[in-house]
Structure 1
Amino acid sequence: MTTTVTGRITVIDDDVRRAAERLRPDAEVAETAARAAWSVLVEPGDGVAGALIGALGANRALRLAMDDEELLPPGLFEPRAFTEAQARWRPRAHARAVRDALESCLDVGGSLLLPGDEHWPLGLDDLGPHAPLALWARGDLNVLNGSTTASIVGARAATPYGEAVAAEIAGDLAAGGTVIISGGAYGIDGAAHRAALGAGGATVAFLAGGIDRAYPIGHQQLFDRIRRSGAVLSEVPCGSAPTKWRFLSRNRAIAAAGMATVVVEAGWRSGSLNTAGHAADLGRPLGAVPGPVSSAASAGCHRLLREYDAVCVTSAREVRELWGESDQTPAPSTKEHPDHVRLRDALSTRTPREPLDIARRSGLSIDRVRSLLGLLALDGTVVQRDDGWQRSG
């Protein structure tokens, strides 16, 4: 399927055009085929490809990249940068690979989103030449037109406290119509997605691999739920494996798609700090949730607060304030949550108690006890001693 004629590599043939027309019957076939080809050729965030397409359009840029007889417009790149880029792209330049990408997307009931489409997340355009060239998608694409979006990320190895806070914030935001964006990973990402779905809201997962693959595999059912009332998106075609580089480049899309980015829990060198860095570079508001000062899982959040001008956030209302939205929701009920009452009743003001003892006395699960202790410690209701927890008063 790959032929070379006078120095030109063919990556779009009749089979590719037919597959492109089947996938996007109401769109321009040439543009669909060219964008699909670029998605196969480049790794996400390739700035040379993005700048070339921005200057020439996807079709002409592809011809220039694949034909040695085409001349590079003067001043667009240093010739060496373009030559090195061609060397990266050409090993993947097979018409069969482009056809397979389109047909695999059709097989799983997916879609191909291009810049300018009705459902294209407009925030991605702020990435300039590093913006996605196309997005492979599954699910209800109407959620991508939500009026407000919030990116919620954090540690994979999250604590019960972190997952509880992420769920509370994401659920409250989603219930108010905000689309929750995250990366589908274990820990904070999963908690945010599940809470949004549980609140009857919408959520979007940006994947580092193909939209036909569940990664992590333990989130297969979660991704199925997301597709029913939200969307999963990826810059790489079906069948593509998630790699370390793709996780890092995926983070820039998560940051760009949200009106604000909130880091709930993150270690000192967490990948979530990479997402936070992209948000800061884009001028997006950045929030961080504080945690216990002794918790390594919150060290990255404290670093963001101290060194990167992140805003301390502890609730959905404070997240909305990041993008200037005043909270128009009714005042919260003064009635205390039953679990809070049970936990407080199980605590003593004099004798510190271990979480397992508190769980036995309250009838709550040990994980629920630990998460509530972390939340109540923030407002001073409980205090941790060397030998356990006790009620502050």
Structure 2
Amino acid sequence: MTQVADFEQMWRDLAPVGRSASSGGYFRQPWHSAELELRAWFREAATARGLELEEDPFGNLVAWWGPDSLGSGTDKVLTGSHLDSVLDGGAYDGPLGVVSSFAAVDLMRSRGVQPARRLGVAAFVEEEGSRFGRACLGSRLAVGTTTWDVARELTDREGVRLGDVIEGGTSTLLDGVATYVELHVEQGRGLIDLDAPVGVHSAIWPHGRYRYDIAGRADHAGTTRMEDRADPMLTYAMTALAANKQARLSGQRATFGRIDVRPNGTNAVPSHVTAWLDARAESDAALAALVAAVEKQALDRGGRDGTTVTVTPESVSGEVAFDTALRDELVARLGGVPVLPTQAGHDAGILQDAGIPTAMLFVRNPSGVSHSPYESAETADCLAGVEALADALTGLVAP
């Protein structure tokens, strides 16, 4: 088959998996049926290409091209992305990078490339943090920045412990990996504005997730006077508005996208609200200032409402600057494509922070929308991404 046919067939194979008939979005949460089906597809794709499959105790997968004897064993090149999605997410966030990686290997082979370094295609697990609440959990466990002793106690929304889902242990999956290149759909409008199909990321904005626990007093919705209430929902509402205002004023990002209300009755004043703030900023200092400003306004409002506010950082990642030499090499090899930062977190940021030189390619998203069923990419742009990835990887494994 041609490289075009390979890509399009792989995409048709993945398209129905985990898709909602009502919204058109995807529900591919880790260790549930849809995501497990995608991992089975990954294994089949690796086997069909004669690639050696390796899996660590956390469910991270790598399909290796080339025998162990290639190179020194400590200069492997890795590409890939993830297969899980946010709740009701888009088709391209993650899977585009995995499919494009397999297609790039196909294209390199059709060109007669003979790798001098071992090349792996990776699928990291729980990148979105949509089930156990930790973004890039699989890659964090693989590099050791999150320990299994901590991760095993994480629980999902149903109270299921990660330690009861997988056995865990220690990962050696990334031993010998010297370079990582990840392709991803763009999650904004940068390439639309520049009228370019493919670009390179320079850095990832610092970002974090913060849990707000707001405690009040349950009461009757009809008989309790407004002035006699200690309503945590009011404190939350003010905090959400404050986050929006502070982010707009500073040119940063702040989002409350998840909330849990108890007892969650229509005719009762809540006793407790738990809400999660996603905050992102152009620098570590700007992120700290944004988070502090939102917390201050929440505490002030809690004092007026008679509620208590507790803020817990659940996962915070500092700014990640991708390897400059690798970035410049890719830009030159690809003929001067645009270079832009990203406000989204990626496994690439985890590997770069762990000392593995890393670069990111991204493909134009004509909707400019991500983490949504409206996320999109044109086939022509995806194929341009495959060719760019193949060119980049060829320069790394067969210079």
What is the TM-score normalised by the length of structure 1?
A: 0.22
Structure holding more strand per residue: 2
Identify which of structures 1 and 2 has the higher relative contact order when contacts are C-alpha pairs closer than 8 Å and 6+ apart.
2
Instruction: State the structure with more CA Rg.
Output: 1
